[in-house]
Every structure is written in C-alpha cells, then in structure tokens.
Amino acid sequence: MKIFIQNQQDKVDVDEHISKIIEDSVANTLKIFLQEENFEVSVLIVDNNFIKELNRNYRNVNKETDVLSFPIFEFKNGQLQEDIVVVEDEIPLGDIVISIEKALQQAKEFGHSLEREVAYLTVHSVLHLLGFDHIEEDDRKVMRKYEEQILDSMGLTR
C-alpha cells in the first residue's frame, strides 16, 4: 500500500506525527474493505483558501470545507462496482484534500486534539473513496459506525 502525503500550506505545522496519523487512518480504513494491499491513496494538505477554491470549482460551493474526496473508481459501501485492469503494481483509489487550517479550527471547536480531527477527516474521506455517503440517514449511520470503529481501534475516541 502506498500513501502519498504532500503539504502545500504553511499556516499549520504538519510534522511526522500528523503524517503518521494520516497514514494509519488510510491503512486502517482500507484493510477493513480491501483484501489486497496494492492500493495507492494521495493526500494533499492545504489551507482554507485552497480548499475553498477546489470546493467552488468541483462542487459549485463557494466556501471552505474540511475535506474533499476525489475517487477514481466506483465503489458502493466498500464494494468495487467495476472491473479494474491492473497495469501497475499499485492501483490508485483517489485523492484526498484536507484543510489542516479548518481541521485545527474544528478540533478547538469540538474540544479534542488536532490528531483526532485529522484522523477523523482522513477516515471519513477514505470511506467516501470507497463509496460510502451520508446524505441519507441510514447511510450516515453506517458511515459513522465505521468512522468510530476505526478511530477506536487507533485509540482516538471522543
């Protein structure tokens, strides 16, 4: 499994510990649903201005958000919905964009650590890459169950 992390902002310090939290969050989420380990996920860490621009360009929502997911393949609740022809060693699942600035704001607002917020946003986004959503209440409950299960397994409970 390959996890690429790139920090493109300078407002919040992103050290090796935060990078490790992101890597662990991706890996712990994927191992629940995917038997193979030949997957690749890219994580881009940005500020509020950058993610606002992405949100406007890709979702027509002109405001900042905490995280965006850009899946490559179609999944539904962790199940691949299309055939994949493997031509490389690693299969790219998609890209995740996290506003670390927004994550810090939310961590303060919710009264928990930046580490927990970054882990939550990463798990949440990987679940989106795997076809989970939270528009309908039943789907939201399923997604929240997995989020809490994964965070608990990492020792990052509320």
- Known binding residues for Zn(2+) are 124, 128, 134
Q: Which among 67, 25, 75 has a CA at the least distance from the CA of 46?
A: 67
Binding-site positions: 124, 128, 134
User: What is the Cα–Cα distance from 111 to 152, expressed in whole angstroms?
Assistant: 17
User: What is the Cα–Cα distance from 128 to 131, expressed in whole angstroms?
Assistant: 5
Burial-class residue 128 by CB neighbours within 10 Å (0-12, 13-18, 19+).
Answer: buried
Pairing of β 91-99 and β 79-80 = unpaired
Check: CB of residue 76 under 8 Å from CB of residue 23.
no
